[in-house]
Amino acid sequence: MVRNSDYEKNEAIQIITIICKTAKQQGKPYTHRLLPDFLMPGCVIRLDKALEAYKLTQHSCDIELACQTMLCIDERTARKHMDCIENAIQQANVKLAETIAQSPEAGDLPDLTPESTPLIILTSLRDAFFRARLRSGTATTVPSILSFLQQIRWQFFSNRPSATVTTKQQPP
């Protein structure tokens, strides 16, 4: 389910899943889901709407505006998603800066000022990294900021222990 911004209601979407029979027979992970970059793991609020709300409220703390943009009612929900976006941006910045610093062929670190917002830093790091990859021929396109944030969010989501899985023996 994902929140539809046209109707302000949740609607089902289809996710394409590729199943590898050989990997399944070998007991290895055998599914790969092709997800749209607006999807936020475990949530009906769209990542693109959360990022839009983050951009709108970056310099002002208008939580009501964030709620309207994300189509949520509770201000706590808006704050939670704004914090998640901020955290994902910071994590993406660290990962890209580390990659660029460790590999000279990954490009030069961009010139940034102390006034640069985390989102501007992320955009600059992404552009520098992919300019170098495009020059070397190891990339053909530059992924969107949403793609970066989605990957970070999925890593967090997949590393989180499930609330339904336990290693303790349960009585019948």
* pLDDT digit string (tens) for the chain, length 172 residues: 787 767 678 888 888 889 999 999 999 988 888 778 787 777 888 888 899 999 988 877 788 888 988 888 889 999 998 998 999 899 889 988 888 888 777 667 788 888 889 999 999 998 888 888 888 888 888 888 888 788 877 776 555 554 444 444 444 4
- Domain coordinates in residue numbering, the chain: 2-155
CA angle 9, 13, 18 (to 5 degrees): 160
For residue 91, give Cα distances in angstroms to 9, 46, 142, 154: 31, 20, 19, 12
List b or e across 39-54, with b for residues whose CB sees 16 or more CB atoms inside 10 angstroms.
bbeebebbbbbbbbbb
Which segments of 9-60 does DSSP mark as H helices, in order? 21-25, 47-56
Q: Which residues contact 144 (CB under 8 A, 6 or more apart)?
A: 37
pLDDT at residue number 123 = 92
Reported pTM = 0.72
